[in-house]
Amino acid sequence: MNQEKRPGGLTALAVINFIFSGWNLLGLLGLAAFFAFVGRIQTDDMNEAQRTQFEAFQNLGLPMFIFIFALSIIISVLLLLSGIGYLKQKKFLGWGLGNAYAIVTIVNSIISGFMFPSEMGGGFHIITMVGLIYPILTLILLNTTFKEDLTN
């Protein structure tokens, strides 16, 4: 059992996890609201780019919407639980679920890039890399810097 004082970096990771988890859940609410009211949105005032983007979302279909929704919930739960795991320095809850979050998010970003049209954020953009920063950092840090700290 590792009874040493928790490193500040691990606390910072936990706080960032909680923030991202909440952020993700808010995004989910927005996505659900969009799909609930998609039929009532007027496209007359939209420019060409906005209309193309809107139509891409509209053509997404219910199964894909459910898949995105479920994946976002899984990522949010993984973020939340691994954040608690970091604070308690737990092996499964911290190291295990933290790695699971990182891998799921990286795979999700790569698949989204191939699956979705560019109007919906598909393809490879510089913003894709912004989304990959935190999961890659998590993966590296959990398996190097903080590996010995998550043993409880």
Residues of this chain that bind another protein (CB under 8 A) = 7-13, 16, 49, 118, 124-127, 129-130, 133-134, 137, 141, 145-146
- Minimum gap (Å) between residue 108 Cβ and another protein: 18
- Minimum gap (Å) between residue 105 Cβ and another protein: 14
Q: 72: which 2 tokens?
A: 């976002």
- Minimum gap (Å) between residue 12 Cβ and another protein: 4
Nearer to another protein (CB atom), residue 10 or residue 80:
10
Q: What is the largest CA-CA distance in the chain?
A: 63
Rg, Å, the chain Cα set: 18
Closest CA to 139 of 109, 97, 111: 97
Q: 144: which 2 tokens?
A: 């190097």
| Cα–chain center distance at 137 | 14
Nearer to another protein (CB atom), residue 12 or residue 64:
12
Nearer to another protein (CB atom), residue 44 or residue 48:
48
Nearer to another protein (CB atom), residue 101 or residue 146:
146
Task: Spell out the residues 6+ positions from residue 124 whose beta carbon is closer than 8 angstroms to its own.
Answer: 113
- Minimum gap (Å) between residue 58 Cβ and another protein: 19
Q: 14: which 2 tokens?
A: 């936990």
